[in-house]
Structure 1
Amino acid sequence: MRPLRLTVPLGVGETPASFVSRLAVRYAPSAREFCLDFRTTFQKVVDGEPEALAMIAAKGGVAAEALAANAFVKTGERRYRLRGQELVRGSLRRAIVAICPKCLAGDIADAPHLRPELAPFQRALWQIAAVKTCPIHTTPLVVLDKDLTPSLLHDWSRHVSKVLPNLRVLADEAGTRPLTGLETYIVNRIDGGAARSVLLDGMTLHVSMAGCELFGAVATLGRMPNLKILTDDERRCAGAAGFDILNSGKPAVDAFLQGLQASYPYRGTGKEGPQAVFGRIYQALEFGREDPAYDPLRDLVGDFIRTRFPVGPGDTVFGKPVEHRALHSIRTLSIETKLHPKRLRKLLAASGVLPDGAADLADGNCLFDAEKGSLTAREASAAILSVRKAGEYLNAPRVQRDMLYRSGLIVPRFRAGDHGAADQFAPEDLDAFLQRLLDGAKPTKTVGRSRANIPDTAKFACCASEEIVRLILDGNVRRKWRLTSERDYMSVLVDVEEIRALVRGPDHGGLTGLQIKDKLSTTAKVASALIKHGYLKSITVVNPVNRCPTVVVPAAEVERFDREFVSLFAIARQQGRHHMAVKREIESAGVKPAFDPDKVGATFYRRTTLAESSRNST
């Protein structure tokens, strides 16, 4: 097929529609009529149909591949592909004509042989809505026309001709600004550049752009921006902010969503869910973007919701059922377990499940680990006995019950006293305690002095009931019975003498006043006087039987005293004489008592003094 005699050169990055429109200026009133002359339609060229593009390429004298390289190929209803990148109608400027004045001025300057209306051409990048800055001149794109009627759509040259008289002024007045991260990313991705974003490269291009604008709009304008009325500057700023979030990867997205969750002004009910917290992000992904291409973005936000909100089996997040619950709130756990929220909060606090600052959070906003919380709730359901009820369950009188509780022999399933709740006992725990206590006990119908229950045995053996219970639980009690006329704790009988032997304390090795009396051949009253006045050094020890403090004299101290001193009565008894005769004899020898007899109630002499007196007399 022979090309036309008069053609125009194909521009770098030029769309097929722009090329046809420029050709049509030479031959027909419009691009649509021009295409009809060659048995095709302008719409087919706009939609990138291969046969139409091949026809135009042949007539325009350009390579078909070069013309098709910048075609927006229609792949479905409102869906297109540019250089392998998927786009949708909403991501393109289809009814809007945007230009870079400097690029158009350069086109005219580079083609002096062409009339001014033939030289400027449309770049494919200018039809992507998120690109609002020329990547060549860093100049803001200028909108020439918008809301075009169908007969004027895509006929490039007819729109550009309007601005040619003022193009130089527009180019001179055009400012500059750096490309945003999103604009740079779009240019690089369409040009086939290397992957630059793990998250965004895994999405189709139109989802990447929409996702950046969605996240950025919420970040810059609040939770509920009206995306339909954003100005170009607001949309550009939103895209830049959203790109910074998504381009930084999943941790940055999670941090942003967590910030929204933390900053939400929760009401007292605490019933607000992810839709209220994430606002337009949630609404757009749940209700406004049914395209499966948005699934990666839905999964990104959905994973955060499933791990940071109290959702579980029975709930759905973006159409997907929740299979595993990561978090519970006091409200959701209360609904699940039928436990009252106030009681549940106290129990969870006592178990250390609740987070810091939980007291200031409403029931619906107080989140915690679902597994730990459910375990606590299950245990709470089992722990149904107060301390008083636990004593009744065990058949333990009040004093015995309090002893078992304070000593830790029976342990509450929940220690909630520090958190404003009562300690609670589980019947199964008390059953286990009773089983250990009664293990191996023989049934009996009688009780006697040598066979008594735990409280009575404690009195007889001068010990505490706690000691007897611990001896039983530790397996140290060999003789044990179960009184058939009683039940549980009060039915346990033990051998009093066995317990007395087991609880007897260590022998202190000292001598009491009665024992000293026999040792020194004196009276108990005299022995007490010797201790009182310090002639016998005493110590205070615990009585091994009755656990009471007892004053005794060490045996070594008694032996020392006996070696140094001897009583008048002991001397008289040894000599078989009357003590008064012995006393007159000792006094006539000039020997005086070692202590004041009036203080101790008896006369004692030093043995060394008596021995010297005896040697002198001989």
Structure 2
Amino acid sequence: MLIEVPPPSHHKHSYDFARMVDNMDMGNIQIVTEGARSLERYLLGRLDGISMGCWLDTLDFHVAAQLCENFGLLLTRGPKASRTETTERQWLEAGAAGYDVLRNGPDQMVAALEELRMKAGPGCHTYGAIAGSFLTWLSQREDDAAFNDIRQRVFDYILRTYPVLVGSTVLRIRCERQRVYSLRKGAKAYGIDERMLRHKLLERGDISKSGKSGAITYRRYPSRETLQQLADETNGLLRGFDAADYLGLDIHLLRTFVVERLVKKAGEMARNAPYFQREDLDAFLGRLCRQTRPELEPANDEVSLIAATPVCQCSTVELLHLIFEHDIPLRCAAGVSPRFDDFLISVERVKTAIGQSSAGAISMSEAAGKLGVDTATIRNLVNAGYLSAAPKTERSSERWLVVDEASVTAFGEQYISAADLARELRRDTANLCRELYKNGVEPLVFNGNNRIIFRRRDVN
């Protein structure tokens, strides 16, 4: 039994009250706190014709009473609370909790439902898991028209908050149009890359990720309007691998181009994964297209840009800088929509440009041609100090080695390759070398596997 026991000084008939409770089981009496009687006082006031000037006053008496109790039961006992197992005291506490929220209007009811949803934490929670007991009770009020406005308000909240499918029934009301979507279904419905959509929703703060697990908390499910906006915004955006395929490049080479600012990225997703606008990729290809000369006669040494790098012993980035700085003409083997590997370049033109990039410098290939050796021997001669490397530009890498032309000329005046010597003497190279060895003439010794080189003074 629940009973309010006021202090004797506040009761005119304390003696009569004491006689009335003489036969009661005093151990069963539970004292009711003042705070748990807020709904009771409100309802008694309504019966006495007192208006509180709140939203509940606009509802029928039984609607206001039941709504406060059952909404309060959700707040105090949770979404799995059983109405049949709720005690009298729990009903009283639930009614007070519901009244304290609902007296402030229907917006506060919605705000309380939203707070319960956010407290649920990461994951994709259903509205039943958040407010099951309250929704079950409200759906059972369909035969009472006095509850229709409440049911419609909660129905509208659920549809704009949870991804309810078309044809589903919520609170005995049919859903005719889906208003919000989960990430995966929204991406599919609006043709947005799922990772891109996740990135955009994280940027907007509509979703958040927790800890190492990466579980998603939906602060707001994306609405139809949001998804359409993001679909328009991301139209033409490509992830790294898709952008590389669009350009006809390896993904690692594309990343290098981004670092060198040859290709502009639109932004980054999680773990520094870049994404690109199609128009920026087209701008890069367009820059190459402007280097093409349709009237140019094909050269015998034309190769693709990728194939040119090992032949010219420079990186792809260095090759592009050479093309743009020295206005090296290209030819295009493709039609309307060329990709990177469709552009052709003359190897000789690249080598000439490499030599021109540093004053008084020539490429390793040109140095090798002057001395009658291969480029590996030229590199070893530089490392051994017989030849001098020319100063490199800031953008050059270690693979792009140019040689000081004066040092090559000076070296050629003192040394001669076995191949050139045999050509001058019209002798077989191998037989000539054996004869020179037999006569005590030693070749130049330096690190690496090199072509044979003799001092001119030893063979004159």
**Letter of the 1:261 counterpart:** R
Alignment pair present for 1:404 and 2:253 = no
**Residue in structure 2 matching 1:223, options 72, 76, 79:** 79
User: How far did residue 212 of structure 1 move?
Assistant: 0.2
- Structure 2 counterparts to residues 210-289 of structure 1, below 5 A: 210-228=66-84, 230-250=86-106, 252-262=108-118, 273-289=126-142
Match of 2:343 among 482, 489, 492: 492
Q: Give RMSD over aligned pairs.
A: 5.8
Q: Is residue 395–residue 489 contact of structure 1 (8 Å, CA) maintained in 2?
A: yes
2:61 counterpart of 1:205: yes
1:321 counterpart = 2:175: yes
Query: Which residue of structure 2 lines up, in the alignment, with residue 306 of structure 1?
Result: 159
Corresponding letter in the other structure for 1:321: C
Report the CA distance between 1:350 and its aligned residue.
8.6
- Alpha-carbon distance in 1 for matches of 2:99, 2:145: 21
* Displacement of 1:278: 0.7
Question: If the length of structure 1 is used for normalisation, what is the TM-score?
Answer: 0.42
Give the corresponding residue for 2:198.
348
5 Å-filtered alignment, 1:545-556, equals none
Give the fraction of aligned pairs with identical amino acids, expressed as a percent.
22
Say which SS state the counterpart of residue 355 (structure 1) adopts.
strand
In the alignment, which residue of structure 1 is the partner of 2:40?
A: 183
Compared CA separation, residues 203 and 338, structure 1 to 2 (3 A): same
Give me the whole-angstrom Cα distance separating, in 2, the residues matched to 1:346 and 1:430: 18
Structure 1: any 5+ residue segments left out of the alignment? 1-131, 140-165, 508-539, 552-618
Structure 2, gaps ≥5 residues long: 11-15, 361-388, 405-460
Q: Which residue of the other structure, out of 440, 446, 453, is the alignment partner of 2:297?
A: 446
Q: Is the 8 A contact 2:209 2:216 kept in 1?
A: no
- State the distance in 1 between where 2:4 and 2:226 align: 53
CA contact (8 A) 2:164 2:175 kept: no
State the Cα distance separating 1:433 from its structure 2 match: 3.8
Q: CA deviation at 1:294?
A: 1.8
Equivalent residues, number: 348
Q: Which amino acid aligns with 1:357?
A: S
1:445 touches 1:483 (CA, 8 Å); kept in 2?
A: no
1:243 to partner: Cα distance: 0.5
Structure 2 contact 162–221 (Cα < 8 Å) conserved: no
Question: Secondary structure of 1:325's match?
Answer: coil
| 1:483 maps to 2:337 | no
Q: Take 1:545 and 1:462, find their aligned partners in 2: how far apart are those partners?
A: 17
Q: Deviations over 1:254-284 (max 9, x none)?
A: 4532343355599xxx675212321121112
2-side partners of 1:546 and 1:235: how far apart? 78
Q: Shift of the alpha carbon at 1:211?
A: 0.5
Distance 1:472 1:351 in 2: 41
| Cα distance per residue 1:202-232 (max 9 Å; x no partner) | 4232211111011122233332344356554
Describe the superposition over 1:344-389 as per-residue Cα deviations: whole angstroms up to 9, x where unpaired. 46972597454131764767979654566677789999878864x7
Q: For the residues of structure 2 that align with 1:390 and 1:356, how far apart are their CA atoms?
A: 27
Deviations 1:431-482 (A, max 9, x none): 5542443147442563449998656887999976436647989xx8867443
Contact 1:316 1:322 in 2 (8 A): no
Are the structure 2 counterparts of residues 248 and 545 from structure 1 closer, same or farther at C-alpha, using a change threshold of 3 Å? closer
- Give the distance between the partners of 2:286 and 2:22, measured in 1 at CA: 97
Question: Distance in 1 between the 2:266 and 2:18 partners?
Answer: 85
Is the partner of 2:294 in helix, strand or coil? Answer: strand
Q: What one-letter code is carried by the residue in structure 1 that aligns with 2:146?
A: A
Q: Structure 2 CA distance, aligned partners of 1:379 and 1:325? A: 20
Cα 1:447–1:255 change in 2 (3 A) is: same
Mark the CA change 1:395 to 1:187 in structure 2 (over 3 Å): closer, same or farther: closer
Equivalent residue number for residue 394 of structure 1: 247
**Within the alignment, does 1:418 sit opposite 2:268 as a pair?**
no
Contact 2:326 2:353 in 1 (8 A): no
SS of residue matched to 1:443? coil
Alpha-carbon deviation of 1:249? 3.7
Equivalent position amino acid for 1:182 in 2: L
Q: TM-score by structure 2 length?
A: 0.53
Distance of 2:359 and 2:233 partners within structure 1: 44
**Distance change >3 Å, CA 423–CA 210, structure 1 → 2:** same
Q: Write the distance in 1 (CA, Å) between the matches of 2:253 and 2:119.
A: 54
Whole-Å separation in 1 of the counterparts to 2:277 and 2:160: 32
Provide the rounded CA distance (Å) in 2 between the counterparts of 1:293 and 1:462: 85
Distance change >3 Å, CA 312–CA 415, structure 1 → 2: farther
Please tell me whether the aligned partners of residues 195 and 201 of structure 1 are also in contact (alpha carbons under 8 angstroms).
yes
Deviation at 1:187, TM superposition (A): 3.3
